[in-house]
Amino acid sequence: MRAAELGAFPEQVAALVLVQEREAVPAPADFPEPAPAMVAVQASAAAAESDQALEREQGWALEQE
């Protein structure tokens, strides 16, 4: 639909376009590749979370017995 069909004034349309441009999510190519050290930190954190989840599950299973 065109803005005129919606009853919007040109100023409102211009403001809406500016807001949409600000809220636009950048394309993945806009983000730099993560540094190898950061990848290692993220992997380590994920492993720790996984270990904690496993420990909670095992503790829960022992409580159920």
pLDDT tier at 1, thresholds 50, 70, 90: very low
How many structural domains are present in the chain?
1
pTM for the predicted model, two decimal places: 0.37
Integer Cα distance of 40 and 46 in angstroms: 10
Q: What range defines the domain where residue 20 resides?
A: 3-64
pLDDT value of residue 51:
85
Helical residues (DSSP H) of the chain, grouped into ranges = 3-6, 10-23, 36-64
pLDDT tens digits, 29-64: 666 777 777 778 888 888 888 888 888 888 877 777
Token pair listed for 9:
């004034």
Closest listed residue to residue 13, CA positions, set 3, 2, 21, 5: 3
